[in-house]
Amino acid sequence: MAVDYNMRELQRRIFSIFEKVDEVCAIHNITYYIIDGTLLGAVRHGSFIPWDDDLDICMPRPDYEIFMKNANEWLPEYLEAIYWKNDDAYPFTFGKIQDARTSLIERKHINYKGGIYIDIFPLDGVPTNKCKQRLHFLKFGIYNKMLYFLFRDPYKNGKRNFSTFISLLCRKIFTPKDLFRKLEGIMCKYSYDESEFVCTYDDSLKGIMPKNVYGEPKIIFFAGKFFYGVAEPEEFLSRLYGKNYMQIPPAGKQRQHGFHYLNMDIAYKDDPTVPNDIINNKTINNYFMNFTENANSIFNRAILEYHIRDYVNAPITNPYPLKSIEYYLYLKNWIDTVQWHLEDIIRDPNIEPAEALVLKRRIDKSNQERTDLVELIDSYFLDKYKGVTPATNAEINTESPAWAIDRLSILALKIYHMQKEVDRTDTTPEHHAQCDNKLSILLEQQKDLSTAIEQLLNDIANGKKYMKVYKQMKMYNDPDLNPVLYGKK
């Protein structure tokens, strides 16, 4: 059930986000267009449609990629640019700019909590041939529906049904990254610059427009200020809403989001008031998320949150309950991420020897902390399966679960940084191709390693294998075991 909220205040907050986006686009020469219901509001009302609770703009794909990649640096700190490439929990193919000082949950059955926002759609090319357009959108629609089922609460209606089965099946077959990559490949198949027709993929086939309808952005009045709309707003609105778009619909057809939860007075990261059904949905989703899916999600979150400041001395803010397995996984990856960058710094050919020595000792200390955490994670599994009686023919693995998880954490880092190389625009085509190939291999390794870990945990749970916690006993860090150290006593 949707919550009640002050529509005028919500629109005022949304408009303030848009003003900042407009300013940034002007400074950095980013092309955008007001579209859809926002454009209709500008033409018909000179402002928001009175019952409209969002704001839509789009950008040609090249501008979209530049904007989304840099927006968190360009915009004020309280505004966050979010899309699937920087937020593993984000469930849409387009981006948003959200106000982190507020708290919002759009849908009861999709457990994503953020702030009030404006939508930013990439504008992509589509084929000219009508038949090819239909086939193209059919393929996009299938994968987009799978994405919906992947993020949706399997028990949306409070009981098991066929859609529950589909939702759980999608989670077994795909990861969110798998589907987002497939969808982006479809959306980007036809170059925006070379295409005669374009669309945002938000309005199905009727959203396909000749590119000249967008054309050179046209100044348009909206809510007391001037912004940019499409070159031919009448043609755009007629295609999307019909010839009678200026006619105000009856009350029963005045559509709005009807947000499930909204609080404009508290930051979503600090908001303790999460409705019980959202908590329950999160519990359900986590129950059906296997261990490695959860671990990879936590690793990706730690990596992204480290790179907000990208500073090896930045303090860690662990978001998980103390001493929970999630807490230790986040901590483990944070240490790995810091050490990754320490290893980069120490390889600077111009580094001062004294500074390098300090870094070397810090890396040694970090290695010991990583080892201690791995042993702690293994202890968690040992306690978890302590009630399992191994079969008489049970075998011990050459690698314990936590040491395999250690490799999974490092893989997440490799994938993150290889993706950065793929996204670079200042390299040769050969470099891009090599990195793209390496990224595919890393993603395959991640999938295979995750599967192997799940198989190992399942075998331990069923008594087919057993495990022990072995101490690494790193002698170089021990003053009683390193002869260079104890020889100086």
The model's pTM: 0.59
- Between CA 409 and CA 332 the distance in angstroms is 8
Which pLDDT score is estimated for 160?
A: 59
Which pLDDT score is estimated for 157?
A: 54
Which pLDDT score is estimated for 278?
A: 44
DSSP 253: G
Strand pairing report for 395-396 and 465-466: parallel
For residue 81, the cross-strand partners are 97
Residue 170 contacts residue 152 (beta carbons within 8 Å): no
Q: Which two tokens stand for residue 295?
A: 């671990």
- Helix (H) / strand (E) element for 160: namely none
Q: Nearest 10 degrees: CA dihedral of 207, 210, 216, 219?
A: -40
What residues contact residue 245 under an 8 Å CB cut-off, 6+ apart?
40, 43, 44, 237, 238
Residue 459 contacts residue 449 (beta carbons within 8 Å): no
Which pLDDT score is estimated for 287?
A: 34
Which pLDDT score is estimated for 1?
A: 47
99 CA to centre of own chain: 17
Could you report the average pLDDT of every consecutive run of 10 residues in the chain (489 residues)? 76 96 96 96 93 94 96 95 91 95 85 91 96 94 90 65 73 83 94 96 92 96 94 95 89 76 89 51 43 87 87 91 92 96 95 94 93 93 92 92 96 92 90 92 92 93 89 70 71
Q: What is the average pLDDT score of the chain?
A: 88
- Between CA 412 and CA 332 the distance in angstroms is 12
pLDDT in tens, 66-106: 999 999 999 999 999 999 999 888 999 999 999 999 999 88
Residue 184 contacts residue 201 (beta carbons within 8 Å): no
DSSP secondary structure letters along 66-127 = HHHHHHHHHS-TTEEEE-TTT-TT---SSEEEEETTSEEEEETTEEEEE--EEEEEEEEEE-
Which pLDDT score is estimated for 288?
A: 37
Q: Which residue has the tokens 């050179």?
A: 216
Which pLDDT score is estimated for 277?
A: 43
Q: Which two tokens stand for residue 309?
A: 């400041």
Residue 275 contacts residue 261 (beta carbons within 8 Å): yes
DSSP 51: T
